[in-house]
Structure 1
Amino acid sequence: MFWMNKDVFIRLCDDLENIYKVKGSQRISIAEKLGMFLYTVEEGAGNRNVQERFQHSGETVSRYFSEMLNVVCDMAKEFIKPSDPEFKSTPPEILGDSRYMPHFKFTFACAGWEGTAHDTRIFQSAIHNPTLKFPKPTNGKYYLVDAGYPQIKSICYHISVKGQEFFGCVCLVRWGAQPTGYKEVFNHAHSSLRSVIERTFGVWKKRWNILLDMPSYSFDKQVKIVIAAMALHNYIRRYSGRDCVFDESENLDIEGIGREDDAQNGHGHVSREMEALRNNIASSLMGAPI
């Protein structure tokens, strides 16, 4: 039901009523409001389709979709953020799973940029705008990024090791020979993690078909829909003991694995320091199980 089990749906209804003060009426309950909203974002359904499914007027469908969209975007403040803002610990599910437990949640969202904007431009805007509250890791922890992003001390480092071919697809490594040398071991471990990250985006897009096509909505509403879809994804991940979409994720075609954009990196002290960091991490992985 709406890509979530019954218990999660009921819990979400209760949270909407008790925390976010959504009200039902004699004509429509909170569950029906939520149902219409989820049906719209899950199926990418138009107004007329929702009218026929729920037997309400077009004006009613449009009004309650807008109401629920604003409420779920408000939920995003709670559900799209790191559970451990200081990054002090590693979740036991990740520590205990050789595949990094691919039930990841989104911790930051910045929607509304034009499609032609370069990754680096968006990233730089996010980390330098204090109002966005980008979750920066503590000293000694980093974000894993591809070559489309700059190397920044204490924030991120690239997935590939300079001078060594990047293994873009986990399957090539899994079915072929075991990696040899510290650079190949490094690339194997981190290409596996990148595959999990890409799969999370694949699951997110599969769950909410509205993300594939929403030309009838205003730009501002489209931005809100992206944020709401991420908030709902995280809500399901937090409270669902079993997620059918993730269970099927092994069969998803993952786009973008192995894509290396032109890096916009500076050279000098920071680049040398980050390269040394990569080499240290790669060396430490030599004795770890693959």
Structure 2
Amino acid sequence: MNFHYDTKVKVFILLSKKLEKLDYRPASKMLHMNEQLSILIYIFGNGTTNCQNQDRFQHSREKVSCFLKHVIQMPCRLGPTYISEPHVNSTHQTIKSNPKYSPFYDWCLVYAHDAPMLQHLRGNTFIIPQGCFYLADAGVESL
């Protein structure tokens, strides 16, 4: 149990340091990135309202909203460093090893459940390689 707790703390500290390096315009000089990240995790983890967060963190509604908006945008800047498109010529081992999926999904690169997001990506230099496809949710209209 200690190992998992220690690991989570180390990941939190690492993420906080990475975000702090990117933060060229801090939301507040008085609020360290650790606290901003803690507010974000607390809100997402507990599904709390803005009123509850004001009470919990002793900040005004405007400040809590400002911190939340600021810290939500920060991880997006880490995207180009840590997120990459899947390799076209490789199929995930889970798909390959299960006859229920292979060969039907061998050329499926990604599962998309958000049509507006996929439409945005396709309009911004996001190209589906020839012979491959992206699997979309049944509720997603045809693009």
Q: TM-score range by the shorter chain?
A: 0.5 to 0.7
Quick one: distance in 1 between partners of 2:137 and 2:57? 45
Preserved contact between residue 43 and residue 53 of structure 2 (Cα < 8 Å): yes
Higher strand share: 2
Write the deviation string for residues 49-105 of structure 1: whole angstroms up to 9, x where unpaired: 112222223232121112112223444455555243xx122355x3786599xxxxx
Letter in 1 for 2:129: P
Quick one: distance in 1 between partners of 2:111 and 2:22? 21
Query: 2:89 aligns to what?
Result: 88
**Sequence identity, in percent?**
27
Q: Which runs of 5+ in 1 are unaligned?
A: 101-105, 114-121, 151-263, 265-290
Question: Which one has a bigger Cα radius of gyration?
Answer: 1
Quick one: distance in 2 between partners of 1:109 and 1:145? 6
Quick one: distance in 1 between partners of 2:30 and 2:36? 11
Where relative contact order (Cα < 8 A, 6+ residues apart) is larger, the structure is 1
Quick one: distance in 2 between partners of 1:28 and 1:138? 49
Q: Does 1:35 align with 2:38?
A: yes
Quick one: distance in 1 between partners of 2:29 and 2:23? 19
Query: 1:143 aligns to what?
Result: 134
Q: Does 1:16 align with 2:19?
A: yes
Write the deviation string for residues 145-175 of structure 1: whole angstroms up to 9, x where unpaired: 566679xxxxxxxxxxxxxxxxxxxxxxxxx
Preserved contact between residue 50 and residue 61 of structure 1 (Cα < 8 Å): yes
Q: Does 1:53 align with 2:46?
A: no
Structure 1 position 41, deviation (Å): 2.4
Preserved contact between residue 111 and residue 136 of structure 2 (Cα < 8 Å): no
Preserved contact between residue 82 and residue 135 of structure 1 (Cα < 8 Å): no
Preserved contact between residue 113 and residue 137 of structure 2 (Cα < 8 Å): no
Preserved contact between residue 40 and residue 50 of structure 1 (Cα < 8 Å): yes
Count of residues in correspondence between the two structures? 127
Quick one: distance in 2 between partners of 1:15 and 1:143? 32
TM-score relative to the length of structure 1? 0.34
Q: Does 1:64 align with 2:67?
A: yes
TM-score relative to the length of structure 2? 0.59
1:88 counterpart SS class: coil
Preserved contact between residue 80 and residue 107 of structure 1 (Cα < 8 Å): no
Letter in 2 for 1:51: Q
